[in-house]
Structure 1
Amino acid sequence: MLTSPARTAVLGLGLIGGSLLRALTAAGYEVTGFDADPSTRELARKAGYRVAGSVTEAVRDAELTALAVPLPVLPRVLAELDGHAGLVTDVTSVKGPVRDLMSRHGVRRFVGGHPMAGKETSGFAASEADLFTGCAWVLCPEPDETDLGDWLRLARLCTAIGARVVPVTAAEHDTAVAQISHVPHLFAAALSARLAANPLAGALAAGSFRDGTRVAATRAELIAAMCGGNAGAVRRELRSLIETLTEWDGLLAADDPVAALIPPLHTAGELRRAWPARPGTPEKLPASLPGLLELGRAGGWVTSVDDSEVVAVRPEVETLRPEGDR
């Protein structure tokens, strides 16, 4: 019988870790939290949660340990987990470097994870039990590395707190988040920086500027950590975006720039209007690492887990139509 880990430790009680502590407790799990900051520990205790005074105390007898600390802090935390026999996961926004760290520190049972959830605010005070409801939660099934049973146990836990689990490898995850998260943060920051040279622009800015720059309000340290930690993929995707903008700059130099811009803008608009894709009909799939990876690469996700199968949903595929057909 497949069971999810009952005793869980959450190390790091910021927005994501604090929300995980709240969500798992609400779902009936036995959870112990820890944070290196004494004031954060006290805040969590006052909120009614079990909080340990050290990493060693938090992970004692834990069947699952969730690492919710920034990437630069992970080596120090992993050193304190030496010999830990339980399943380990993380919530870091970059997966390749974390996978390498786990290998170097000899972590025997690891499934990389990343919940695509967050807010502009941070810290335990900003955490909430329903933060993960409906969010995509990446869990990485690495061929020839990941134990299928461990992946399924963790997927059951994530779906129990309302997330939909997307199975992709660490490398595939890092390329995708560079496209849809890390580069947009840099682009939003670059647009926001334009305000410094033109106060008039700030006075005239309205909805399009607000929507296009929202994530620039994220703490600089967090943006730098996630982009710097995924530097290889971010640089590739950033160069690709620059190439597209350069092509559009050339269209603006055409004899009729309006006509030249319409085709690529129409395609982009259709893609944006079709996002997010409508979910297809749920289907049951036999649980296997190759099958899970095929599902994730198709943009699909897991909604629940049984002993030997998962309930999966694939997005409906829409055909782009001429604008006049809408």
Structure 2
Amino acid sequence: MPAPPVGVVGLGQLGGSLAAALVAAGRPVQGWDVDAAARDAAAARGVEITRALSGVVVLAVPLPAMATALDGLTVDPGATVTDLGSVKRPVLETVGATAGSRFVGGHPMCGTERSGHAAVDPDLFSGARWAVCLEPDTELPRWLRVAEVALDAGAAVVPTTAAEHDDAVAAISHVPHLLAAALAAAAGQAGPLALALAAGSFRDGTRVIGSDPGFVRAMVTGNAGPTAAALARVQEQLARPWTDLVADGHAVATRQHGRRDVRVPLERAALLALGRAGGAITRRRAAFVEGWVPDQA
């Protein structure tokens, strides 16, 4: 049975890169963007530019625009709707409330500080983790359709719930943006000499705050509770003796684990257990999925 088409709403860095990756994988791809230049760039890559979308419809727009992203577009009533937003609970409460059981939340863990259609990269998702949310009322066939989009783009799928996703990304994505902002602001206060001497560690530590400030604000405020809790844990760590902190942080950052291949049945509890164990799905089979979990031995 042929894979359904994918309709991408928003053809900037994430949406445009997804559309380009899927075209390269042989998927039929439709797309729309309010920016004519983004539409033209996507069309040149083989995307059918249209307001009529079907199959799996992907919302690749900023978080504040999610609720109205489909306004003015014609979406097939049977289409599955997903998104690429960096926070999941607010999108579930808005888009999910409108789309109902047709909605499956998603979030690819990739991207750069760049934005817009000029930053499109068909290889952006290659090897990335892509969270695909599996709520109690999620229809498994729709979840699989979204997972297959992620796999076709080159990503590995991590089953999770919206709440668990938001708690996790607060620690490994949203707080790092705030820390990068704090580091850059503190270095600015240290004066021109400090900035002139800044090299690799400062560059690496501040890279993500080069992102669009509006994007960062929407992300951290949209996930304010988990982000505040994760930031409090960081502040507790900074209050520890520095020698202990350095040793423990180094141990986490340099830890090495192998991977153990697994087969998981297409059942909600088993899929979520895989995600909670730190594993990912790499291939869809008829009655199960294949992937891996970290080998803790």
Q: Give the TM-score of the pair, scaled to structure 2.
A: 0.93
Matched, 1:282 2:275: no
What displacement does 1:156 show? Answer: 2.1
Within 2, Cα distance between the matches of 1:119 and 1:199?
A: 27
What displacement does 1:230 show? Answer: 1.0
What displacement does 1:83 show? Answer: 7.2
Return the letter of the residue paired with 1:126: A
Instruction: Count how many residue pairs are aligned between Structure 1 and Structure 2.
Output: 295
Identical pairs, percent: 43
Residue in structure 2 matched with residue 22 of structure 1 by the alignment: 20
Residue in structure 2 matched with residue 217 of structure 1 by the alignment: 210
| Change beyond 3 A, Cα 1:4–1:225 | farther
What displacement does 1:84 show? Answer: 3.2
Given that 1:11 and 1:65 are in contact with CA atoms closer than 8 Å, whether structure 2 keeps it comes out as yes
What displacement does 1:4 show? Answer: 6.9
Residue in structure 2 matched with residue 262 of structure 1 by the alignment: 243
| Change beyond 3 A, Cα 1:19–1:179 | same
Residue in structure 1 matched with residue 87 of structure 2 by the alignment: 94
| Change beyond 3 A, Cα 1:279–1:305 | farther
What displacement does 1:224 show? Answer: 0.9
What displacement does 1:79 show? Answer: 4.5
Name segments (4+ residues, structure 1) moved above 3 Å: 78-84
Matched, 1:131 2:124: yes
Within 2, Cα distance between the matches of 1:298 and 1:106?
A: 30
Secondary structure (helix, strand or coil) at the match of 1:282 reads: strand
Partner deviation per Cα, 1:174-211 (whole Å, 9 max, x = no partner): 01111001110010011101233211211222222111
Q: Tell me whether 190-199 or 3-12 shows the greater mean CA deviation.
A: 3-12
Within 1, Cα distance between the matches of 2:252 and 2:31?
A: 41
Within 1, Cα distance between the matches of 2:121 and 2:249?
A: 34
Within 1, Cα distance between the matches of 2:147 and 2:278?
A: 17
Matched, 1:305 2:297: no
Q: Tell me whether 104-113 or 79-88 shows the greater mean CA deviation.
A: 79-88
Within 1, Cα distance between the matches of 2:90 and 2:40?
A: 31
Contiguous gaps of at least 5 residues in structure 1: 252-260, 319-326
Residue in structure 2 matched with residue 43 of structure 1 by the alignment: 41
Within 1, Cα distance between the matches of 2:121 and 2:56?
A: 21
Q: Which of these residues, 233, 241, 259, is aligned with residue 234 of structure 2?
A: 241
What displacement does 1:82 show? Answer: 7.4
Secondary structure (helix, strand or coil) at the match of 2:259 reads: coil
Within 2, Cα distance between the matches of 1:161 and 1:120?
A: 20
Residue in structure 2 matched with residue 321 of structure 1 by the alignment: none
Partner deviation per Cα, 1:158-189 (whole Å, 9 max, x = no partner): 11221100001000100111100111001001
What displacement does 1:281 show? Answer: 2.6
Give the structure with the higher percent strand.
Answer: 2
Given that 2:101 and 2:139 are in contact with CA atoms closer than 8 Å, whether structure 1 keeps it comes out as no
What displacement does 1:48 show? Answer: 4.0
Within 2, Cα distance between the matches of 1:299 and 1:231?
A: 24
Q: Tell me whether 188-197 or 21-30 shows the greater mean CA deviation.
A: 188-197
Higher Cα radius of gyration: 1
Within 1, Cα distance between the matches of 2:41 and 2:126?
A: 24
Residue in structure 2 matched with residue 166 of structure 1 by the alignment: 158
| Change beyond 3 A, Cα 1:107–1:174 | same
Residue in structure 1 matched with residue 199 of structure 2 by the alignment: 206
What displacement does 1:106 show? Answer: 4.0
Given that 1:5 and 1:64 are in contact with CA atoms closer than 8 Å, whether structure 2 keeps it comes out as no
Q: Tell me whether 262-271 or 67-76 shows the greater mean CA deviation.
A: 262-271
Matched, 1:58 2:37: no
Matched, 1:112 2:105: yes
Q: CA RMSD in A?
A: 1.8
Within 2, Cα distance between the matches of 1:46 and 1:312?
A: 35
What displacement does 1:115 show? Answer: 0.4
Q: Give the TM-score of the pair, scaled to structure 1.
A: 0.85
